[in-house]
A = this chain, B = another copy of it.
Amino acid sequence: MKLRDLPTPCLVLDRQILLRNLATMAEAVARHGVPLRPHMKTAKSVEVARLALAGQPGGITVSTLAEAEYFASHGLTDILYAVGITPARLDQVARLNAAGAQIIVLTDDPAMAARIGAMENAPRTLIEVDSGEGRGGVGPEDAALIQIATHLGGAFAGVMTHAGHSYAGRSIAEMRAIAEGERAAITRAAGRLREAGHDVPIVSMGSSPTARHAAHLDGITEIRAGVYMFGDLFQAEIGTHGLADIAVTVLTSVIGRRPGRLLVDAGGLALSKDRSTEAAPRDYGFGLVLDAAGRPSHGDAIMRRAYQEHGVVEFDPAHPIDLPVGGLLRIAPNHTCMTVAAHDRYYVVEGGEEVVAMWTRVNGW
């Protein structure tokens, strides 16, 4: 099967770029002697997980229990569910763990911690620590930190943080500084807990930029990252990787031709309405236009507008994209996690136009 045989819009995953991205991250974390617990929230595919786990202990991170159930059913049972746990989900985790999974959960809430501490067969639980993102987590100096560990009792297994604010970094130096802040916050939390008499076996941190660029990881027992596998325009703009390292693009067909623009069949659903590059050095609209082989042959052409099923590609009239209706393009996305979520499979290529495999994804909740 060739790309031209695929139904558009669809995801094209270049296995060569994926393997290169995985090797780059594996090398970056190996320098520190810290294992990687890849975050599967982006790829949501067991084939990708197996490649990302090469040379690693085998633990993964997920963002939904649908992912946890899917990966456990494929034999990947060491799972960190990295979203604050609720009472209903605690019951679900208990059922999945009774069936063979080893899901670790997290909380930053004293009442939830007390509930977990009172359970029979409670899942191992990490305390979420805020290292500066201002999303979830208690501060490393917060009195609640010790209180939550005490409530958790035997279920307490360590601490975790996510420096999501690293995405606001715009240089490797900034990301290195944010990585050091992330490391300092989580090791400080671990230190306070140890002083209070708790064992802290897991000290987990990570985001793709900080995992890639941390100067050192002293005191960290594992690092998490996800978007690095596929990359996207936003990550390229902030310097996490290069523009040639975007492994997943959306294959799309031309559905209309106008002076200076083309209408294509990838719109807001196929690409998402994510506009993250609006705040990046270069604004790519809804995506960068590549040729059918994934090469940047069309200069500065971008998808300027995205309707539900229509995308408007604008190009420089001096360098027109001369394709008939039915002609193919590929669009590199702003934010790959959002884009891939609309699709149920990847069509895998090895640099060329031959489709060598089809890998499924798990979506929903």
Contact = CB atoms under 8 A, between A and B. Distances in A.
A256 B108 contact: yes
A86 interface: yes
Contacts of A64: 309
Interface string A80-92: 0001111110000
Contacts of A335: 273
A277 B128 CA distance: 33
From DSSP, what is the main secondary structure of chain A's interface residues? loop
Number of copies: 2
Contact of A308 (B268, B275, B337, B343): B337
B307 A135 contact: yes
Contacts of A10: 365
Interface residues of A, number: 54
Contact of A326 (B86, B253, B309, B312): B86
A309 B343 CA distance: 17
A298 interface: no
A172 to B, nearest CB: 23
Interface of A: 7-10, 41, 63-64, 83-88, 107-109, 111-112, 135-136, 164, 253-257, 263, 265, 268-270, 272-275, 305, 307-310, 312, 324-326, 335, 337-338, 341-344, 363-365
